[in-house]
């Protein structure tokens, strides 16, 4: 069967039309473009973006695999509730960064950090190689450089925490890298009017020194206190009815 030729000018989807379509529609779903609206049919999407039905169909299949869409008899393709989204998917996490955040979502991210990072620090203290410790030390050095204005504070903070996940000698923990990175990036959208500050260098240095000294309990407790500090601010903001401010920063 020959597909009808698209009737509109193709939108800027990039060279790979399928992945361009995936990115465009996925971002629209996650950022709320379709909230309260009927999700378009494949034919409507193809016409709107100026691509073939086969491109649209493949993109919809990929979004369905990510938990964003569901095809149901007599209902067509509908958007799934965010509880069904694959929040460990790299694309979904990337699109979430462009969404208007709520404090409950920020709290959820940091609750998961509390479940992961203290154990990762404990394992790093127990199992990290000299190269792993050096990688964590390099992340901390970047944080010091950021304090002097010679590096990006958020990127440096992420490098430190990701290095711990990589150094703990457990491939499952390393898989949390994208999620922890996203959680840290969301913090920059959280208001700092309660306690404006950048990431605590002494606290992060204490984590590094505990890992280097093979003090597993101290490494775990110290990184837990860093995340708990952010959780206290979140709970305080929730109690005061605050909203997320995209321009402010709280780092963990």
pLDDT tens, position by position, 115-134: 999 999 999 999 999 999 99
pLDDT at 75: 76
pLDDT at 105: 83
CA dihedral 128, 212, 216, 197 (to 10 degrees): -110
CB proximity list for 5: less than 8 A, separation 6 or greater: none
Domain at 101-239, CATH homologous superfamily: GntR ligand-binding domain-like (1.20.120.530)
In this predicted structure, the answer to whether residue 142 has a pLDDT above a threshold of 90 is: yes
pLDDT at 249: 45
Class of domain 1-99: mainly alpha
pLDDT at 144: 96
How far is Cα 23 from Cα 40, in angstroms, rounded to an integer? Answer: 16
Asked if 1-99 and 101-239 have one fold, the answer is no
Please tell me the number of Cα atoms within 13 Å of 86 on its side-chain side.
13
pLDDT at 6: 47
pLDDT at 125: 98
Phi, psi of 25 (to 5 degrees): -75, -40
Report how far apart, in Å, the C-alpha atoms of 125 and of each of 209, 222, 233 are: 9, 12, 28
CA dihedral 41, 46, 52, 53 (to 10 degrees): 0
Pairing mode of beta strands 69-72, 76-79:
antiparallel
User: Residue 4: which pLDDT band, with cuts at 50, 70 and 90?
Assistant: very low
How far is Cα 18 from Cα 14, in angstroms, rounded to an integer? Answer: 9
pLDDT at 240: 77
Q: 220 and 228 in contact (C-beta within 8 Å)?
A: no
Overall pTM surpassing 0.85 (yes/no): no
Tell me which of 64-68, 94-98, 139-143, 210-214 is least confident.
94-98
Stated as kind and residue range, the H or E segment containing 78 is: strand 76-79
pLDDT tens, position by position, 99-108: 877 788 888 8
Domain segments of the chain as ranges = 1-99, 101-239
């Amino acid at each position: 069967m020959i597909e009808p030729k698209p009737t509109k000018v193709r939108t800027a989807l990039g060279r790979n039309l399928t992945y361009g379509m995936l990115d465009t529609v996925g971002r629209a779903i996650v950022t709320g473009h379709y909230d309260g609206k009927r999700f378009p049919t494949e034919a409507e999407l193809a016409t709107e973006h100026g691509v073939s039905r086969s491109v649209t169909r493949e993109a919809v299949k990929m979004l369905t695999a990510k938990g964003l869409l569901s095809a149901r008899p007599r209902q067509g393709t509908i958007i799934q509730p965010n509880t069904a989204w694959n929040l460990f998917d790299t694309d979904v996490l990337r699109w979430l960064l462009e969404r208007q955040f709520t404090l409950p979502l920020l709290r959820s991210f940091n609750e998961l950090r509390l479940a992961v990072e203290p154990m990762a620090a404990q394992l790093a203290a127990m199992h990290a190689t000299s190269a792993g410790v050096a990688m964590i030390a390099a992340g901390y050095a970047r944080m010091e450089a950021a304090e002097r204005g010679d590096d990006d504070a958020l990127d440096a903070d992420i490098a430190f925490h990701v290095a711990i996940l990589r150094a703990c000698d457990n491939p499952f923990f390393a898989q949390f890298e994208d999620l922890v990175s996203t959680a840290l990036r969301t913090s920059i959208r959280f208001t700092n009017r309660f306690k404006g500050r950048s990431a605590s260098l002494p606290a992060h240095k204490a984590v590094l020194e505990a890992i280097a000294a093979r003090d597993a309990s101290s490494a775990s407790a110290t990184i837990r206190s860093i995340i708990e500090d952010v959780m206290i601010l979140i709970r305080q903001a929730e109690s005061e009815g605050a909203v997320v401010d995209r321009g402010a920063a709280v780092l963990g």
